Amino acid sequence: MFDYRQFSVLRKTNGSRPLLQTHKHIIKIPERFEFWERDRKGGYNTKIKTAPLDNIKNGFRELKYELKLFANEVKDYFTTDPLLLARPGETDLLWCFNSPDVLDKFVTTSDSDHNEGFSNCKLDMSPAGRAQFHGYLDTRIPKDGRIKKSGYCSMRSKRIRKSFKRDSTYDWNIYNTLVIKVRGDGRSYLLNISCEGYYDLTWNDIYHYVLYTRGGPYWQIAKIPFSKFVLGAKGRLQDKQTRMRLDRITHFGIACGDRYDGVFNLEVEYIGLEYDPTHDEEFAYEMYKTEKFIVGV
């Protein structure tokens, strides 16, 4: 006769033998219980561990450069007037890719850098003397039981900073349009503007806009209002959209991830800002507040 007292639904056991035998090689994804963000990098820790003595040597080696940078900051504070107005129709360049030194202000990354895929990319000078973001996009998924989607490459500007390793931000309040001159290969690329906030929930806020390239030998100039950028976090579009804080810009980047395997190539001549007096739109995506029990509106 079956003894019901030995069977427990909650324990999922029949006596001492478990009902479901799990294989020891199955990788279990760790669950997340924290409400707050622990790391600004979202778990992608790329810091290189060095000995304390090496840190002291490197600190004294950089002290001369930091003092020189601090002196230039003080000089600019007393001699340079702030830019209060932008001339309508004129493009103020942020990055003009006419020399290899400008490429040092950007970094490239792909899924293979974090063992999450097989894509690769580079950023160098093209035969025409402009920045060339190129590589190979591979959407194959590593067979590790952890990664579900793969296939991305990106280039991103480095974080601007003040002297003594103090982080700073761009202030684009007097502009309302992003201007970029590119020559693409027919693929669609994603323009990313990071607005890292003070609180941990805003560390990964990025505004996106899709850039469609024509391909062929001709250059194209794209003018995109900041009001058209859509808010996302960690690759997911947010239900509640807000305007971009133009005084808290930390990074600008271009990503390739259109799910088509193969070679990609994008040439960039310059990236700039412009004030368009005919564009008075503050935000293109109006949010309608509805009751919590209403779904799909």
Is the domain of 246 the same as that of 102?
Answer: yes
Q: What does each C-alpha distance from 273 to 166, 189, 193 come to in angstroms?
A: 25, 19, 13
Please report whether residue 20 resides in a domain: no
Q: What is the pTM of this model?
A: 0.81
Residue type, 111: D
Report how far residue 236's alpha carbon sits from residue 248's, in angstroms, rounded to the nearest whole number: 21
Please report whether residue 17 resides in a domain: no
pLDDT at position 28 over 90: no
Nearest of 181, 278, 261, 268 to residue 225 by alpha carbon: 278
**Mean pLDDT score, 15-27:** 44
Please report whether residue 251 resides in a domain: yes
Is the domain of 131 the same as that of 246?
Answer: yes
Report how far residue 189's alpha carbon sits from residue 266's, in angstroms, rounded to the nearest whole number: 9
Q: How many domains does the chain have?
A: 2
Is the domain of 103 the same as that of 195?
Answer: yes
Is the domain of 258 the same as that of 115?
Answer: yes
Please report whether residue 22 resides in a domain: no
Structural domain of residue 205, as residue ranges?
Answer: 86-275
CATH number of the structural domain spanning residue 167: 2.60.120.430
Report how far residue 231's alpha carbon sits from residue 208's, in angstroms, rounded to the nearest whole number: 6
| The predicted structure's pLDDT at residue 294 | 67
Please report whether residue 37 resides in a domain: no
Is the domain of 206 the same as that of 260?
Answer: yes
pLDDT above 70 coverage of the chain, percent: 85
Is the domain of 54 the same as that of 69?
Answer: yes
pLDDT at position 21 over 50: no
Is the domain of 203 the same as that of 153?
Answer: yes
Confidence band of 268 (pLDDT split at 50, 70, 90): very high
Q: Which residues contact 6 (CB under 8 A, 6 or more apart)?
A: 14, 15
pLDDT digits (tens, 9 = 90+) for 94-145: 999 999 999 999 999 999 998 899 999 999 999 999 999 999 999 999 988 8
Is the domain of 90 the same as that of 73?
Answer: no
Please report whether residue 1 resides in a domain: no
Is the domain of 54 the same as that of 153?
Answer: no
Please report whether residue 98 resides in a domain: yes
Please report whether residue 91 resides in a domain: yes
Token duo for residue 210: 């899709």
